[in-house]
Structure 1
Amino acid sequence: MSKVWLITGAARGLGRSILEAALAAGHDVVATARDPERLADLKTRYGDHLLPFKLDVTDAEESLKAVDVAISAYGRLDVLVNNAGFGHLAPFEQISAEDFKAQIDTNLYGVINLTRAALPVMRKQRAGTIINISSVGGRVGTPGMSAYQAAKWAVSGFTEVLALEVAPFDVKVIALEPGGMRTDWGHTARGNVPELIPDYQQSVGAIATLLKAYAGNEVGDPDKIARLVVSLPEHDSLPNHLLLGSDALYVFGQAEAARQKAAADWAQISASTDFDGSNVSELLEKLHP
């Protein structure tokens, strides 16, 4: 069944792949980009099924207009894909305040702005799917990615809370958490690496070297991911988080094992901060009868 999609960051990378997959599947799409002229070839091919829209996702008013455009053109909005985002590799100490804020504004507040605009429409429809493109970096920590991963951790947490809030009126929300993909993300991330303070060579420098070797050899296939994304709204239920790629599974598995071990090692100290005689089982039963 044809649906109405709104996809951010649709001019390149994964966003472009998702856009092409959605159009090929027969859907109508409002595709946003800072430079919508880059979508001219697809507009020629798909005509009225594609509506390019110039959007900076950090602009809340323009985000509202993007949703209004979808409603005016197609009468409803079924799927929102919050894809727009970027990252720059640098030690936190060497990231300018402006760059840090720009990454948070795009990767986190871009998601918030579009979701805030789309959610009232989906609630009134009693139907809709919000797909937030997060990252395995929203579940693990990587030296040099403090701004990007702070935003992605927030996106993944925001997604989990929102999914619980909107489930009663049949709106689905999912955070996709891919590993490396063969897009230009790695080139962008490495394109602004400053000359590292020597003390950061062992941590951030090692990641910079790894990214250089990994670029072009990522295991994630953007076209396969895009086809998966297009299939998600057809599922009756979705997980709050979905890792994508064997590298994401591996990295997350290691991080989760380390967290579980730390929790177990420190469990006695964690519990020692309770009031004497506290019974957590009784308390939880009262909160969740």
Structure 2
Amino acid sequence: MSKVAVITGASSGFGLLTTIKLAEEGYDVLATMRNLDKAKVFPSLVKDQNVLNRIEPFYVDVSDEESIQNLKVKLNAFPHVHLLVNNAGYALGGFSEEIKLEDYRKQFDTNVFGAINVTQAILPIMRRQQFGTIINVSSISGRVGFPGMSPYVSSKYALEGYSESLRLEVKLFGIQVALIEPGSYRTNIWSSSVEQSEAYMKEDSPYYEYTAALKSYINANEEAHGNPMEVAELISQIAAMKKIKKLRYPVGSGVKMTILFKSLLPWALWEKVVVKHVLKGKRDV
């Protein structure tokens, strides 16, 4: 019996690399994405036809109910579903005062409700078969808040809470749940976030200097961003575990240390470090 994996946001970044990695390991991968034109990337990256044949691109918009219903119908064609990787997401940047509530809702529609949508579509299958693994791709931003990133940060905090409850709920059905918490990697999610942030900003904005400082901080650290293949390999390793003992798997340079420092430092000191380091102390706080 071949193993079946469903991956959301499979056309780029972690999702793309994870799709290829799992197909190389023998999974039949339902690679879901909002733009099927982007599936053209697979033949350019995968030269082994046997591996390519195990990748099936499929249209899914995780925030659209009709699309989720189509996914449910598609899943009926598979005898089993072994793995779900909730990877679809994006990062919206900007300062809270200047971000429209509608944009906060869109961030949650994809990053949180989208993951819940797809999970609810697959859970009945995993529950009936009495096995399965769900891996939700979170972020260090689900453990540590950053200025100028509140839509993304709050969505990842919500995903963390959902995943923690979900793991406790489905454990007795033989279903395992894990969280991946990447730091900064060479994907376009951080740079695109800053670009969106700038779209909100005008020179007369009270946050204009902060935005420039935030962009400078991200650009200055780009060279230290990790290879996203590291995340794909970790997902593959967790998927292969018979017993996933931990819920959270931080990954990336400095991620574990950052989480540790936040847990140990008094808030007043932690706050001072973050503001001075990230926003360069542009104003007294």
Residues 64-86 of structure 1, C-alpha deviations (whole Å, 9 max, x = no match):
422431331x3211100000111
User: Which of residues 81, 101, 104 in structure 1 aligns to 2:105?
Assistant: 101
**2:83 aligned with 1:60:** no
Partner of 1:224: 230
CA change 1:67–1:30 in 2 (3 A) is: farther
Partner of 1:79: 83
Mapping of residues 265-280 of structure 1, within 5 Å = none
CA distance in 2, matches of 1:106, 1:257: 32
Deviation at 1:249, TM superposition (A): 1.3
Partner of 2:10: 10
Mapping of residues 10-159 of structure 1, within 5 Å = 10-42=10-42, 45=49, 46=51, 48-72=53-77, 74-159=78-163
Matched letter for residue 248 of structure 1? V
CA distance in 1, matches of 2:175, 2:65: 22
Query: Contact 2:135–2:178 at 8 Å: present in 1 too?
Result: yes
Deviation at 1:242, TM superposition (A): 1.1
Partner of 1:166: 170
Q: Computing the radius of gyration over CA atoms, which structure comes out larger, 1 or 2?
A: 1
Deviation at 1:103, TM superposition (A): 0.8
CA change 1:132–1:254 in 2 (3 A) is: same
Deviation at 1:212, TM superposition (A): 2.1
CA distance in 1, matches of 2:31, 2:235: 15
Partner of 1:245: 252
Matched letter for residue 191 of structure 1? E
CA distance in 1, matches of 2:41, 2:92: 30
Matched letter for residue 234 of structure 1? A
**2:254 aligned with 1:233:** no
CA distance in 1, matches of 2:192, 2:208: 20
Partner of 2:221: 214
User: Which of residues 179, 184, 194 in structure 2 aligns to 1:175?
Assistant: 179
CA distance in 2, matches of 1:77, 1:87: 29
Query: Contact 2:27–2:54 at 8 Å: present in 1 too?
Result: yes
Partner of 2:195: 191
Query: When the two structures are superposed, what TM-score results if normalisation uses the length of structure 1?
Result: 0.83
CA distance in 1, matches of 2:246, 2:265: 23
Residues 204-228 of structure 1, C-alpha deviations (whole Å, 9 max, x = no match):
543222112223x243321121022
Structure 2 gap segments, 5+ residues each: 270-285
Query: Contact 2:23–2:52 at 8 Å: present in 1 too?
Result: no
User: Which of residues 256, 279, 285 in structure 1 aligns to 2:263?
Assistant: 256
Query: When the two structures are superposed, what TM-score results if normalisation uses the length of structure 2?
Result: 0.84
Structure 1 gap segments, 5+ residues each: 263-289
CA change 1:260–1:239 in 2 (3 A) is: farther
Query: Contact 2:186–2:226 at 8 Å: present in 1 too?
Result: yes
CA distance in 2, matches of 1:117, 1:167: 17
Query: Contact 2:201–2:208 at 8 Å: present in 1 too?
Result: no
CA change 1:71–1:228 in 2 (3 A) is: farther
Aligned residues: 260
CA distance in 2, matches of 1:70, 1:51: 12
Compare 92-101 and 116-125 and name the one that shifted more.
92-101
Deviation at 1:245, TM superposition (A): 1.2
Compute the RMSD of aligned alpha carbons: 2.2
Matched letter for residue 87 of structure 1? A
